[in-house]
Structure 1
Amino acid sequence: MLNIKEIMDIIPHRHPFLLIDRIEELEPGKRAVGTKCVTYNEPFFQGHFPAEPVMPGVLIIEALAQVGTVAMLSIPENKGKIGFFGAINSAKFKKKVVPGDVLTLEVEIIKQKGPMGVGSAKAYVDGKVAAVAELTFAIG
């Protein structure tokens, strides 16, 4: 398990854009499972939406990408590098994510060639799928 300080040693994201709180499982270069505790104090809830706060889907995808980035930057040859989006494919949102939810974020690296790769990503709340996507990344 990695805590927030250990995560920040691996990826460059910082508040308010660091969207993962903990890594529960890690197989460097292969897969990672992380969590995000969603609170009403998140800055995006001020405008999305004041009367019915919902975590934006693009930020759920970003949180998944950050978990995948932890997996990829945990291997020694990628230390100190950055993960960039190459594509987001087949993104589907199945459940609203609201304050009080704990997002479980799972990313499995399914393909890699050189600095490019693809991750299969799923986000869950209480064991129910909230979002799924295929994320293409570049390590640079």
Structure 2
Amino acid sequence: MKYRQIDRITELTPGQRLVGERTLAADEEYLADHFPRFPVMPGVMMLEALHQAAVWLVRMSPEFDSALVLLREAKSVKFGDFLSPGETLTVEAEIFKRDGALTIVKAKARKGDRTTVSARLILESCSSGDPEHLGTDADVQRLSREQFFSLFSDSPAAMALRRPGENISPTMTPHSV
């Protein structure tokens, strides 16, 4: 995942809610063009932070059961404020409704008490579609779990999800899933 938009997960209630944080660094490559004299996080990257938080929430609901979680639609997207280098987004994702494979997530990001972006995201949980004997879905689920612990090993959410005796190194290389 080249543009990881969640630095850490601070709260997690599987099947219900996830809260994470993202601090914008001054050396992020896209800031050179967006904008040279007034660097701010592009709106699409703030929306991606909502998307990534929602995907992690759905993946962990109940526990990495779906191989794939796809964004089907972003509704009612509203932008409210800029995010400049050194500032931190607090990203909240809450499951609003489940209907079969579809999950509607209400998500918002804020800096301090000001909303930067909010949206309703419609996500679909599904399999890869590969034949079961190939083990693709099981591999993707395992890699998703490893990626979660690699990215968020120091968060309270990761510690709570660890299985007894599970040894997942926080120094693993994150996989794109």
Equivalent position of 1:31 in the other structure = 17
Is 1:138 the counterpart of 2:124? The answer is yes
Greater strand share, structure number:
1
Alpha-carbon shift at residue 87 of structure 1 (Å): 0.7
% identical aligned pairs: 35
Equivalent position of 1:50 in the other structure = 36
Separation of aligned partners in 2, 1:135 and 1:80: 17
Alpha-carbon shift at residue 75 of structure 1 (Å): 2.9
- Specify every segment of 5 or more residues in structure 2 that has no aligned partner in the other structure, as ranges: 127-177
Alpha-carbon shift at residue 76 of structure 1 (Å): 4.5
- Specify every segment of 5 or more residues in structure 1 that has no aligned partner in the other structure, as ranges: 1-13
**Alignment deviations for residues 77-96 of structure 1 (CA, whole Å, 9 cap, x no partner):** 63462321111111111111
TM, length-normalised to structure 1: 0.83
Distance 1:111 1:80, change over 3 A: closer
8 Å contact from structure 1 (residues 29, 73) kept in 2: no
Equivalent position of 2:67 in the other structure = 81
Greater helix share, structure number:
2
Equivalent position of 2:4 in the other structure = 18
Distance 1:82 1:41, change over 3 A: farther
TM, length-normalised to structure 2: 0.67
Q: Which amino acid aligns with 1:46?
A: A
Alpha-carbon shift at residue 132 of structure 1 (Å): 1.0
State the structure with more CA Rg: 2
Runs of 4+ in structure 1 over 6 Å off: none
